[in-house]
Amino acid sequence: MATGRTHRPATRSRGIPEATVARLPLYLRALTALSERSVPTVSSEELAAAAGVNSAKLRKDFSYLGSYGTRGVGYDVEYLVYQISRELGLTQDWPVVIVGIGNLGAALANYGGFASRGFRVAALIDADPSMAGKPVAGIPVQHSDELETIVRENGVHIGVIATPAGAAQEVCDRLVAAGVTSILNFAPTVLSVPDGVDVRKVDLSIELQILAFHEQRKAGEEAAARTAAGVPAPAATDATTAADGAKRTSATDQGPDGDVPAVMPA
């Protein structure tokens, strides 16, 4: 899980568990694919397989939304698409601003999965004056000075932060002050926000580190036992497909970290 919610301690917002909400987009994606193939109905078993979850879980999730299935038949695809979209609030238009137009910000601006879900990129904002006016994904980049104006005039409630870690909190504060109440944070920092503001974070390197943990485990316990002694990491061992692999001895003395995504400052 690349993310985790901040504030609001597990308040299940009106009966729908948080875990269920997190799976609704998954179901929606699978259902959309079925819809495009003009499949009229789908059983919980089939849909669960397509979404990569347990069928009992899926049925329980849907039961929180109401009884939208027909026993002996399954669920009506189109109807379910509508119900989930409505529940997630995707039937309305969500203007979004992206702050920090570096590599990642540009990737997000170009991401097709937004527009098709009711999200509209209202503006791209960057602190670099030389980027002002330059079109990215067909949208001209605007300077940070315009942030407050843009947010207010477009009624933006959702902001995406793709700046370096150092700039994230300040950008966050300004977004919140201007009226944003939901933030998707790609900067590797913990943002502090007032109550009532939701923050979700995506940290690319965290995911990789979790994978590394399990990968190390798979590599066998003997290697772990060896480094568990005082030995300061005797280079990679590669029990299985050991090729040459340019090895490095340690990762701690690796120069300045900074821990920033490769994006332009904002």
Partner DNA sequence: ATGTCTTTGTGAACGCGTGCACAAAGATGG
Partner DNA sequence: CCATCTTTGTGCACGCGTTCACAAAGACAT
Q: Which is nearer to DNA, 57 or 174 (CB)?
A: 57
DSSP letter (8 states) at residue 14: G
Closer residue to DNA, CB minimum distance, 77 or 266: 77
Asked if 10 touches DNA (CB under 7 A), the answer is yes
103 is in an annotated binding site: yes
For residue 25, state whether it binds DNA (rule: CB under 7 A).
Answer: no
Q: Please, which of residues 88-117 interact with its own copies by CB under 8 A?
A: 88-96, 102-104, 106-108, 110-117
Residue with tokens 């790609």: 186
CB 118 within 8 A of CB 65: no
CA distance 31 to 38: 10
Contacts of 225 (CB under 8 A, 6+ apart): none
Q: Whose structure tokens read 């009506």?
A: 76
Of 3, 5, 6, 17, the one binding DNA (CB under 7 A) is: 17
Q: Consult the annotation and say whether 72 binds a ligand.
A: no
Cα distances (Å, whole numbers) of residue 28 to 18, 22, 53, 77, 116: 16, 11, 13, 10, 12
DSSP for residue 234: -
Q: How far is the CB of 121 from its own copies (least distance, A)?
A: 11
The answer to the question of residue 50 lying near its own copies (CB under 8 A) is yes
Candidate segments 37-45, 177-185, 196-204, 239-247, binder of DNA by CB under 7 A: 37-45
Q: How far apart are CA 229 and CA 128, in angstroms?
A: 49
Which residues are annotated as part of the binding site for NAD(+)? 100-105
What is the contact surface with DNA in residues (CB under 7 A)?
9-10, 12, 17-20, 43-45, 53-57, 59-60, 62-63, 67-75
